[in-house]
Amino acid sequence: MVGLDLPVSELVTFAVALAAASIVSGLMAGIFGIGGGAVLVPVFYQVFGLLDVEEAVRMHLSVGSSLAIIIPTAIRSFMAHRAKGAVDMDLLKKFLIPVPVGVVLASLTAAYISSEGLRVVFAVMTLLVAGRLLFNRDSWRIGSDIPKNPGVSIAGVFIGYFSTLMGIGGGVLNNTFMTVFGRPMHQAVATSSGVGVLIGIPGTIGYIWAGWGNPDLPIASTGYINWIAVALTIPLALLVTPYGVRIAHALTKRQLEISFGLFCIFVSARFFWSLID
């Protein structure tokens, strides 16, 4: 991989950073149903930069690798939440086609959008969601229940599209969608883990296609997926995801909202900073 000629001490530091991110990612997958991508994308971006991966592909590689990792963590999180009876399976069935359609459209976009463009999308979307969560009021609702078609399908395409551009499992947007229509935060978190499965699988395939044959990619990459990063991250993330689920069901609705909102602000600020750099 580009950058593997760095001193062993620095490489060990990078490995430790990835391991720490993997643990936090798994916890976030269980707590918020977000697949951990909101943690992994900024960490991958920094690690790939320190390894001298080309700026033109660094953000794409971070997003794509995150999507690949979302698949097993989202599946495990979904199974754990479903066992507790918290998942809205009816909504997931309605999302079965619209969400992957959004993923496909995002994959087409990823083939042409710049690194800066991806970072702007990531930063702006997470900041908007943070504001909604931190300043949430019960009166801030669009309706008392999830809309019927075509509204729910349009929402599914939107969630799939922007989540794929951000490299996240859909929890950031689906949590917001469900709560503004009166659904409990715990149910939104649980259902988002299922949305992560609908995004992760086609999203990974899409980013492989979007980056296929790019000469700037580092070794062990298939399109915009770097398998070294994936292999280092998945085991630890899977190990700790069930503990995140336990934490989620132990917290109150407002505690979940505040925690998730503060986390989104941190991530957004980091990417805005990268654009200044």
How is the chain split into domains, by residue range?
8-276
Query: Helix 171-180 crosses helix 185-210 at what angle (to 10 degrees)?
Result: 140
Q: Predicted confidence band at 10 (pLDDT cuts at 50, 70, 90)? A: low
Distance CA 86, CA 192 (A): 11
Distance CA 42, CA 271 (A): 7
The 10 Å CB-count burial string (b at 16+, else e) for 216-247 is ebbeebbbbbbebbbebbbebbbebbbebbeb
pLDDT, tens only, 167-226: 877 777 888 888 888 888 788 888 988 998 999 999 999 999 999 989 998 888 999 998
- Token look-up 């729910």 returns 152
pLDDT, tens only, 135-169: 866 666 776 788 888 999 999 999 999 989 888 77
